[in-house]
Structure 1
Amino acid sequence: MIIRQAKTSDAEAINELISRYAELDKMLFRSMASIYELIQTFAVAEEDGRVLGCGALSVVWKDLAEIKSLAVAEGCQGKGIGRSIVEFCLEKARSLGIKDVFALTLEPQFFEKLGFHRVNRLELPMKVWSDCAMCPKQDNCDEIALVISLK
């Protein structure tokens, strides 16, 4: 298995992964147009030509980024794929000079095992003013905010 920067040819596989979790209300839906627009933010896990997982690193502010759209193919969980994608994204954040990386998730234990700690979403004002302002779950958000410091 390799973790690599996504290419436009990965967009359909990324869409399938995200859509599966979005249908289960475990992730926000992303349109194909959005995936193509943000393809440079995505990393994928690939094995034998098949995309087994994806995740994106989105810079929110000068020293803050978010890991989002983290998804692993059905039947492939528990094999270190998600961990490897997060580690790839954290390394990318370091190379960009990012000091803190956060995630909003329904699976906080996964991120806590990787060194993230829980914070109040209100501690992430740049996030609240960007994506959260347009989210359909805005008034009833059930996601937990976690942050890791890269200092």
Structure 2
Amino acid sequence: MIIRKANIHDVDAIFDLIDLYAKEDLLLPRTHLSLYENIQCIRVAEQDGEIVGAGSLHVLGRDLAEIRSLVIAPEAKGLGIGRKLVYHLIEEAEQLGVENVFAMTYQVDFFKKCGFTIVDKEILPQKIWKDCLNCPKFLNCDETAMLIKVADYKKMTTLH
């Protein structure tokens, strides 16, 4: 399994994975256009020529980036692909000089295992004013905000 930058030829496979979870109301839907527009931020996990996972890192400010649309193919769950994608994205944030990485998620246990902690959404005004205001769930958001400091990630990974 390799993790690499997505390219335009991956968009249909990424869309299908996101759509699978969006139909279950586990993830916000994305359009093909939004995937094309953000292709430079998306990373894919590829195994035997197939896209088995994807996720993106979006920088929202000097010290904050968000992991978005993290998806794993159902047949690839439990193989550590999601964790590898998350760690890859945190390392990209570190390379960019970003100190904090967060996710808005329903998968609280997964992100806890990756070292994230639950935070109040109020500490993420960059997210709220950029994206949340346009979300259909804005007034009834049921996602959990979780954050990891890149420095804490580095400590965690050097211990293992």
Q: Percent identity?
A: 48
Answer yes or no: is 1:76 the counterpart of 2:76: yes
Residue 8 (structure 1) shift: 1.0
Answer yes or no: is 1:117 the counterpart of 2:117: yes
* Helix, strand or coil at the partner of 1:115: coil
TM-score (structure 1 length as normaliser): 0.98
Aligned to 2:5: 5
CA distance in 2, matches of 1:49, 1:76: 14
Residue 123 (structure 1) shift: 1.0
* Helix, strand or coil at the partner of 1:82: helix
Residue 115 (structure 1) shift: 0.7
Identify unmatched segments of 5+ residues in structure 1. none
Residue 74 (structure 1) shift: 1.3
Per-residue CA deviation, residues 29-79 of structure 1 (Å, 9 max, x unaligned), is: 000000000001000000111000000000011110000100000121111
CA distance in 1, matches of 2:6, 2:88: 12
Answer yes or no: is 1:108 the counterpart of 2:108: yes
Cα RMSD for the two superposed structures: 0.6
Residue 135 (structure 1) shift: 0.3
CA distance in 2, matches of 1:37, 1:60: 16
Identify unmatched segments of 5+ residues in structure 2. 152-160
Q: One-letter code of the match for 2:136?
A: P
Runs of 4+ in 1 over 3 A off after TM superposition: none
CA distance in 2, matches of 1:18, 1:61: 25
> What are the residue-to-residue correspondences of 1:10-49 with 2, within 5 Å?
10-49=10-49
> What are the residue-to-residue correspondences of 1:122-137 with 2, within 5 Å?
122-137=122-137
CA distance in 2, matches of 1:86, 1:115: 10
CA distance in 2, matches of 1:115, 1:20: 26
* Helix, strand or coil at the partner of 2:98: coil
Q: One-letter code of the match for 1:3?
A: I
Residue 9 (structure 1) shift: 0.9
Residue 5 (structure 1) shift: 1.0
CA distance in 2, matches of 1:40, 1:90: 16
CA distance in 1, matches of 2:84, 2:150: 17
* Helix, strand or coil at the partner of 2:69: strand
